[in-house]
Every structure is written in structure tokens, then in C-alpha cells.
Amino acid sequence: MIKKYSTLYFSIIICLFSLFSPSYSAELTSGNSALTITKVNGISLSIDGEARFGRKSPVEVEWIDSQGNSNWEKTNYNQVESGSNSIVCRGLIESPNGSKLLFRDIYQVRNENSTFFLERSVRVSEANQNDSGFSSRFGLKTALQHSILDFNYLSPGILYKQNQFAPPRAIASYSKLQTDDDFFFFTTHCPLGPFIMMQNTGDKYHLTLAQEAPEPSSSFSGDDFRPRIINEKLQYGALGIRKEPKPLIGFVFPGTEQDRTYVGSGGTSTLRSHPLKQGITHNYNLILKSGSSPDFNRAAENTIDYFWEVYNPSNNILSVDMEKAYEANISLIYDICEPRGPENIRGIPWGDIDIFSGELKNPSYQMGWIGAQIEGAYHLIRYGQENNSETHKSYGRDMVDFWANRSWPDYNALPSKWYAGGWGDNWSQEGDLRHYGDGFFVIMKSYSFEKNRGIKHPNWLEYCKEFGDWLTDNQNSDGSWYNKYNIQDGTPKTSNKSRSCFVVPFLTSLYKETQNEKYLNTAVKAGNFAFSNNHLPCRYTGGAIDNGNVTDKESVLITMRAFTALYNATDNSKWLEAAEQAAKIGITWTYTWNIEIPENNYSKLNLFYEPEYYTSGQGLVALGHSYCDFYAAEHAGDYYELYKITGKEKYKLESELLLNNSMQLVDFESSIAGGKTFHEGSCPEGLAGTAMGGYRGHTNNAWLGFNTMGRLTGIKDIEDLSAAPNSYSSLIQWKFDDNAKDTSGNNNHGVLHPAEAGNITFVQDGNDGCVQFKDPKDRIKSPTINFGETFTVSGWIKISPNFTGNWNRFIVTEDVNSGFGLFQDSNSMSWKFTVNGSWGLPLGGTFQPGEWQYLTGTYDGELARLYVNGNLVSGPASLQPPANPQQQVVLGRDKNTWETGFTGRFDECVIYQRALNQQEIRNIYNHQKNPCVFPPEYDLDGDCFVGTSDFFMMASEWLECGRMGTCK
């Protein structure tokens, strides 16, 4: 009775206070948005001065009585108070049976980026025995009447635009948005983070509703697919939209799934509530971010960028002994690479190996995709080269030879993608761009890797050129190809073209190796098709072949790789824009936060997912289900490459998240399953990462090829991109930090030969010091070395500002005509790189006296290239190998006393044992970029260049103080 009177007294106080409260309305502003709250009209959210969203009765509750009947009721706030950058609102709602809940909502502004924050508290003040449960909801409706299809949507792994490419069974599939379902609510276990954005397709305004600091708990095993679950352990919410005359965007707590769920067999609602009893409270924080963008793509990118910061995964990236993980993965594919079938063809099986018993259920071989046989071959070759293992090299080479020599008989129009292997000497008769894109790209990768080490495989290159020719000859007029073809006659087996850009990385690699413009032109045409059909409509479908043409993770990541390859090949910023958009959409498929596994699932199921493991780093596969895998580790290097190109830290973090956290399910040193796997390096395909109850954390125990190959690719790609400068197997490495010692470990120390005593000095400039020549006859010589038939010559040079002269040498061999030379072309202000005295490589680049320049000449045994500051300025050109690869290397003039070298400063001069590729050269340039010590006159902004910004600064100074230059 005391409780009853005290509650009644409290309610009367609230009512009286509301009557006499001096503040009946309040407003907050942030950026271009305003949030207005009154007791009578509730909430109104304006964007650019137009009321876009609102809710007259924000206090909303679902009551569940003791008979299981439920109904939603809502009411207005009865108190609105203004504070410092905040509004405090209170409300009281009563059930038909007399139960009462007290609401307190605090709205805040923390910045000026059109964002508002809501802290909500709901407390049971009185519980009637005839009520058994309750849920609370916050939502805003559109200010005007709209169809739900007047908006595009984004929620990570759930909703992309209007889900036109989601299977019918999917949550919020296009068909459901059109007809069947009214509610589209899903739990907050979304990959990037719990948010949903809706953007008006006409007026372009948008609103995102998100949960701030979500509770990671996944509750308990009993949280399954029963129609109604009432349990106070439920500590997560649900986001979604509701089909109404004025569509609603909302958050419900606890997390009801309605009208569709992926739990169990899916297709039905799972309603969740808390018991209605004293002591039960709801506490959740929400974010309302609004704005205007010219199109969905910009709205999506801006939203993803913002919530990446909100749910920043940097604290969820695991520390991994990557060397041990690499060895474990390599040892697995090496040991299962055995001869199979009637012809004893050696290879790595497609997969379906039980990771406990080691039973092989599918002994066939796949070129790409899941089987990823050629990718495995590349890693065996690379491991063999880097660890002097002939067997690893021979296994890998045999596999690539098999595909190059056997998969494309003369009577077929196209190569096969799949060989029966242990089942017989049979080939699949269907060709698929996914397999071709994966397989041929890695064959080119293998070919270039071997060639750079002096080993040529002409049959590999011819195989790739033949396929590149087929792509060129059979490209549709719009730049596309069909996803599938009959390999016998080359006729298409589908009208779908969604995988057209999947072969672009291969084509650009083939162009780089052959310099045949037709391959680049073909790639650019395919890129333009993808730009129009993937990038502009923000549509990425059909990557995972077994899921059909649905929106999925693999398609967007491969598209990112394709656009990045085009950017590297052309330097056209259009492709970088497209690559970054794909990268950001790709991020939405990956968990950046951690969701716990129900505790009693560990003993109930055969789990690999231990209590301390992270969900972060794994990602949903496609729309239509909640299955997760670690495929994205394959593209960790692509994200790292974008980081190197753009300098944006989030791409680096994403690459580390994808790679490091994928190693949780790899068995090295008995790290999973209690050491019961059949082989070190074993790993299951993936996890039921977001399913509830008895499903969460379950895996199918099957090893598939892509599981291991993708992780290996991620390791080596990031290793190549992040390698410290000068770590690429150098023969000579003169850093010139106070001396000319060789730091490569080969003791090829430089010997100073000044024209006069004291001419050669070491000064503080460049990278921790450099060497300076005062006389054109000064030189530094190495001992005699054997630089072989493949090599790279590189170094930094800053020519004296008052430079004059001709034929000046930079880095040369003693006899330029039988070795190599990097020098001035005649009396021009351009650079020249020669091999064996040949002048076949045109001059390139322009001198920049007084500025640091990074020069690089590469020779791969056939083709020579010249780079300045990481940019290709000449070549490739076919030149004969050096007649005498065993001689001294000289900084300065060669053996001819009448020749001269440059005067100026030199730094980080290195001879490598192979031809570095452009990305490696750019990596060194970015690591070692030197400041401009002698800026030109009127370089006011310090960028070593007199340009537009300097002009504006001059004009500003003139207006301020009547003269040019600074006013000080």
C-alpha cells in the first residue's frame, strides 16, 4: 500500500509540475538540423529548415498481459525542460491493467555535424500481476506521407538501397518492401555497427538512427525462434523501419525481429520482451544523425565514415604472431598437395576436408573461387623461393603448368575452371568470370614473381595472353562480358553481366607485363561498364557463385580491387573514387565490434569459437542469411594499398582487422579445438555468427581452399606493401648516414674517390644524412659485384641549384656499355637509363635542380623501365641483358676520366637483385620522401613549387600591407 500511495503521489507531482512548468517547448540545433520538442506536438526534426521527421507521442510501450495478448500504446511527454545543450523530457504511461512506466529522455548536442544524442531510461514504477511483460520503442515518422519505397536505406549486411538484389527470403527484400511485410526490424548485431539510414530519393535528405555503445551480450541459448520470449537476460535492441502512411524509423528494446528472422528456419517473427516487475529498467543511448547529400552514394559514404569513428575497431584488432600463422598455413597446403586421380595430377583439393578426421570428400581441383588452386600454387612457389625449398617451388610450378598446358585444348573456345582430380580425368564444361578472374590474375602474379628472379615461364604468359585476347575479342560493346559461358563454343549461358570487372586486375597485370595497349584498353572499357553499372548505382552483386546474383561481400571487395588496379595503371582519379566507395561499402560487411556467444553453447555444440574470441574481423557473406566467414582476409592487402595511396588510417585498420582477426580460427600451436584438428593450419569455413540460440558460433567443420589461400595472400600482400624501404633483397645499400658503408649485409662498402681532398662530405639532409659532391669528378665505388640479369638501380639525388653540364653520371657500372647506367641524356634536362649500352629506352622525366628526386631503373631480364618519384616516365623497352654483369658500381663518373658526375647531394642509393614493381617503388618513395631544402623564390606555402596558392597568398599580402611577400 505504501508503494501504491508513493507512486500515486509521484504521478500527481509530475502532472502538477507539467501544468506549471515554465518550459513547454525547447530546441537544439546542430549543423543544418534542428530538433524541436513540445509537450503537445512532440518531436520535430528539421533539415535545412524543412520539417522532415517527427513523433507526436514519443513515449511508446508494448504491453503483454498474463494471457500472452499484446498491444502497443503511446503518449506524449508531460514535461519538457531546456538545459545547456540539452533537453530533458519525462513521461508516464499506464497499461490497461494499471502497470506504470516512467520515461526520462535526455537529448543532447555534442558537435555541429547535424547529430543529436538521446539517453533514454525506462523504469517500472508499478507492476500489476495481470501484466507479464513489456517492450519500449523510440521512433520518428516522416513529416509527410510517403511510400516506404520513396526512400533508399543502408544498414550493414541487411539493407542496401531497396534490396532489389536480395533473395525473397531476406529481411526487407524488395518484394517484401513492396507487398507482404509491414515491419522490417532486425537485431542490432549488424557488422559495422547497429545503425540504419533512410534517404529520400527525391529531396535527398537522410536520417540515420543508431545505438551508441551497444551491449555486446547475445543473451542465452533459450533465445531462439519462439514466437514470444520474455526474459530479463535480453540486453540488445532492434532497429528497423515500418510501413505506414508516414514510414517510421525506429529502435525497439529488447530486440524484436519482425516480420522476418534468420533464426532457425527463418521466415517468422521472434518477439522479445522483458518481464514487467519492479527493478527492471531500460537504458539505451541512441544517435540521430541527419543531413542532405546529392545522392545515395554520398549519403552512404558519409554515414559509413561517421559510424566507423563511432564504432572504431582499433581496440578490437588482435595481436598475432604472423610468422607462426604463415608457417602453419603453408604447411597445410604443402602436405595436402598430392598426386590424385587416374593420371596422378598433383594439386590442392577444392576442399570439403573434415578438419578433425582429415577425410577428403571432394578431391577435385578449382582454378579460382573456393578452390583457389592457382593461388595456392603461387604461395608454394613464393615460399620455396624465399626459403630455398625446391620441393615447394616444384609443387607450385607443376600446378600452374597443369592449368596452362591442360585446361584449354584446341577444340574448346575457353579454358575449363574445374578438374575432377581424384574422381577422374574430367573437366567442367562451364566457364565463369569469377574463376577466370581469380585464376588468371594469380597466374600473372606468379609469372611476374618468378621473372623478377630470373626464371621465365613462357607457357604461363602465352596461356594468359590467349585468354586476354579472348576477352578483347569477345567484349560486348558496352564493355561487359557475361558471367558464364559454355567453354566448348564460347556462347553465353546467362544474360547477367555483374562479374564483368572481376577480370580487370588480370588485364591490368597482363598489360604491365606485355605493354600491349589492347589489354589496358579492354580493362578500361570493362571499368567504364562497372563504373556505370556498379559504382554509380552502388550495386555489387554476384560475387559468391552459390548465392546467385544477390548483394554480397565478395562482389564489392573484388570490385574494389578492380578499380584500384585501374587507378594504378592509369593514374585517373575516377578509378580511385570508385575504389574508395567500394572499400567503404566493403567495410559494412565486416564486424568491427564483438558479440558474445551464449555461455552454455560451448558445451552444447562442437565449437571453435571460444569465449575469448572476437566476432570483429569476420563478416556476413550475403543478404538473405546470417552466415559469416573470413573471406575478406584475401583483400586485406587491397585495403592496405588504399591506405598507402590515400593516407587514410581507416583503410590500414581495416586491413589489420581482416587479417589479424581471421587467424582466430586457424590452428597453429593447438590454438583451436583443443589441438584435435587433423593438421596444423586447419580452419573451418566460417561461423553462424549472428544467429541466435543454439546456432550462434556453430561451424560446419569443413576446410575449403579459400580459407587458407586468402589468409596467405593477406599476409604476403601487406608484407610487400608495408616492407621497410630497402628490404627487397638488396646487393648494395648505401644509406650515407655519416659514411658509405653497405647496410645490406653483403659488405659491399663504398670507397670514396674525391677529385680533391675534402670534396666529398656527409651532411645533415635527406633521410638522416646524405653525401655531398662538390666536384663533377668526385665518385664512390663498390667492390666488384654480380648484379645478374635482373636488377633495380635506385637512389635519391638533389642536383645543385646552379646546375650546368651534359652527360653527367648518377649511378653507373664502371663500363656502362656492358652494364647499366642512370645518367643525364646529353645536354637535355632529362634522365636516361641504359642496359648493355643500349639506348632503346627513351629519355624521361625532368631535372628539378635544388629538389630531391627519387630515380629508379629496373630490368627484368628483358624489359627496362625508368621511374621518377615512383611514376613510370619511360618504358618498358626490350633490351639485351648486360654482357658483363660482374663489375663495380659507381656513384658519379664511370671509368672514363673525361666523363663527369653531378655535383649536389645523394642519398639511399641501392642495387636490388630483381626488378621491383611500381608499387614497391612507390612504397620506398613514400617511406623516404625528402623535404625541399631549397624552395624557389615566392614559394610561400612551402610545397617547393610556385603555384596558385602562392599567388593568392601574395595577393592577400599585397592587399594587407601594400607589397608582395610577407608583411612581417
Exposed / middle / buried, residue 612 (Cβ in 10 Å: 0-12, 13-18, 19+): exposed
Look over the chain and give the mean of its residue pLDDT values, rounded to a whole number. Answer: 88
Please tell me the predicted confidence (pLDDT) of residue 603.
Answer: 47
Pinpoint the alpha helices (H) of 672-810: 705-722
282 pLDDT tier (thresholds 50, 70, 90): very high
Please tell me the predicted confidence (pLDDT) of residue 943.
Answer: 46
Higher model confidence: residue 223 or residue 74? 74
- For residues 316 and 312, what is the distance between their CA atoms, to the nearest angstrom? 9
Please tell me the predicted confidence (pLDDT) of residue 147.
Answer: 96
- Is the separation of the CB atoms in 841 and 864 below 8 Å? yes
Pick from 142, 144, 55: which is nearest to 105 by CA?
Answer: 55
Question: Any idea which fold 730-928 has?
Answer: Jelly Rolls (2.60.120)
Please tell me the predicted confidence (pLDDT) of residue 102.
Answer: 98
pLDDT above 90 covers what percent of the chain? 65
800 pLDDT tier (thresholds 50, 70, 90): confident
Please tell me the predicted confidence (pLDDT) of residue 967.
Answer: 46
Q: Decide if pLDDT at 389 tops 50.
A: yes
Pick from 356, 366, 338: which is nearest to 705 by CA?
Answer: 366
Please tell me the predicted confidence (pLDDT) of residue 610.
Answer: 61
Provide CATH code, domain 322-722: 1.50.10.10
165 pLDDT tier (thresholds 50, 70, 90): very high
Please tell me the predicted confidence (pLDDT) of residue 950.
Answer: 52
- Is the separation of the CB atoms in 374 and 442 below 8 Å? yes
Q: Which residues contact 124 (CB under 8 A, 6 or more apart)?
A: 99, 100, 101, 134, 276, 277, 278, 279, 280, 281
Pick from 557, 568, 477, 466: which is nearest to 519 by CA?
Answer: 466
726 pLDDT tier (thresholds 50, 70, 90): low
231 pLDDT tier (thresholds 50, 70, 90): very high
Region(s) of the chain under CATH 2.60.120.200: 730-928
Looking only at the bridges linking them, the beta strands covering 809-813 and 820-824 are: antiparallel
Please tell me the predicted confidence (pLDDT) of residue 69.
Answer: 95
Please tell me the predicted confidence (pLDDT) of residue 181.
Answer: 81
Higher model confidence: residue 170 or residue 62? 62
pLDDT above 70 covers what percent of the chain? 88
Q: Could you read off the pLDDT of 904-935 as tens digits, one per residue?
A: 999 999 999 889 988 888 878 877 654 443 34
- For residues 505 and 486, what is the distance between their CA atoms, to the nearest angstrom? 23
Please tell me the predicted confidence (pLDDT) of residue 118.
Answer: 98
- For residues 849 and 853, what is the distance between their CA atoms, to the nearest angstrom? 9
454 pLDDT tier (thresholds 50, 70, 90): confident
Q: Could you read off the pLDDT of 498-545 as tens digits, one per residue?
A: 999 999 999 999 998 998 999 999 999 999 999 999 999 999 999 999
Region(s) of the chain under CATH 1.50.10.10: 322-722
Q: Decide if pLDDT at 760 tops 90.
A: yes
Q: Could you read off the pLDDT of 573-608 as tens digits, one per residue?
A: 999 999 999 999 999 999 988 877 665 554 444 555
346 pLDDT tier (thresholds 50, 70, 90): very high
DSSP codes, 389-421: -HHHHHHHHHHHHHHHHHS--TT-SS--SEE-G
Q: Could you read off the pLDDT of 75-133 as tens digits, one per residue?
A: 999 999 998 899 999 999 999 999 999 999 999 999 899 999 999 999 999 999 999 99
Q: Could you read off the pLDDT of 538-578 as tens digits, one per residue?
A: 999 999 998 889 999 999 999 999 999 999 998 899 999 99
Higher model confidence: residue 303 or residue 803? 303
Q: Decide if pLDDT at 210 tops 60.
A: yes
Q: Decide if pLDDT at 961 tops 70.
A: no
696 pLDDT tier (thresholds 50, 70, 90): low
Please tell me the predicted confidence (pLDDT) of residue 268.
Answer: 74
Pick from 665, 485, 632: which is nearest to 544 by CA?
Answer: 632
**Span of 404-408, 601-605, 775-779 with lowest mean pLDDT:** 601-605
411 pLDDT tier (thresholds 50, 70, 90): very high
Q: Could you read off the pLDDT of 250-261 as tens digits, one per residue?
A: 999 999 988 877
Q: Decide if pLDDT at 441 tops 70.
A: yes
- Is the separation of the CB atoms in 481 and 493 below 8 Å? no
User: Helices 517-530 and 504-514 sit at what angle, rounded to 10 degrees?
Assistant: 160
Q: How many CB atoms lie within 10 A of CB 396?
A: 28
Q: Could you read off the pLDDT of 5-16 as tens digits, one per residue?
A: 344 444 444 444
Q: Decide if pLDDT at 221 tops 90.
A: no
Please tell me the predicted confidence (pLDDT) of residue 693.
Answer: 39
**Span of 92-96, 352-356, 403-407, 492-496 with lowest mean pLDDT:** 352-356
Pick from 190, 196, 194, 305: which is nearest to 650 by CA?
Answer: 305
Q: Decide if pLDDT at 4 tops 80.
A: no
Cis, peptide link before residue 259, omega less than 30° from 0: yes
263 pLDDT tier (thresholds 50, 70, 90): low
Q: Which CATH number does the domain 2-311 belong to among 3.40.1280, 1.25.40, 2.70.98, 3.40.720?
A: 2.70.98
Which residues are bridge partners to 133 per DSSP? 64, 275
Q: What is the model's pTM?
A: 0.83
Q: What phi and psi values does residue 381 have, to the nearest 5 degrees?
A: -60, -45
Q: Could you read off the pLDDT of 291-311 as tens digits, one per residue?
A: 999 999 999 999 999 999 999
Q: Could you read off the pLDDT of 701-712 as tens digits, one per residue?
A: 889 999 899 999
Region(s) of the chain under CATH 2.70.98: 2-311
Please tell me the predicted confidence (pLDDT) of residue 812.
Answer: 95
